[in-house]
Amino acid sequence: MGWPQGEVLTVLAFDVGARRTGVAVGNSLSATARPLGILEVFESGPDWPAVDAWMREWMPNGLVVGNPLRQDGENQPARDRALHFARSLQQRYGKPISVMDERNTSIEAAQRFAESRARGESKRHQADQLDAWAAVIILERWFQQPLNRIDLDAIA
């Protein structure tokens, strides 16, 4: 399942966590993204109705999921959770899925949030949106670093 070529892409991105997942949307024309919100994750799985609503609203061409590797590039348990979520997205929506290295996104998200607060654009009580900011960074990296993209179908 390949990505459309030669057109402006709308893409949703996910920073998968054990209890919540940050969600962002962006497009390939501007190569930028913005936070959409937080997806709650329950013992039974993610809040699929919330994902369904974002899919209807944004009609993305494909989806990007953060690939949580350790600093040395090796696997960690969080990666299994992220890849399982990515495969569930692919089965549910039939869209192309890529994974993108998410190392240091949480640190960069915290820096961006602090800068946004300093400009008066964000409030302290919005700190729970850091996961959504991490998804923004994952998606912007995906737009800016096409050679670092990995299609889900290429992962065993």
Q: How far apart are CA 91 and CA 51, in angstroms?
A: 13
Residue 54 has pLDDT above 60, yes or no: yes
- What length does the chain have? 156
- Please, what are the domains in the chain? 10-154 (3.30.420.140)
Q: How far apart are CA 127 and CA 77, in angstroms?
A: 25
Q: Is the dihedral of CA 40, 41, 44, 47 positive or negative?
A: positive
- At 149, the pLDDT band (50, 70, 90 cuts) reads confident
Q: Which range is least confidently modeled, 25-29, 38-42, 52-56, 120-124?
A: 120-124
> pTM here?
0.85
**Mean pLDDT, the chain, as a whole number?**
86
- At 108, the pLDDT band (50, 70, 90 cuts) reads low
Residue 90 has pLDDT above 60, yes or no: yes
pLDDT, mean of residues 74-102:
88
Q: Give the whole-number percent of the chain exceeding pLDDT 70.
A: 79
Coil/strand/helix, residue 98: strand
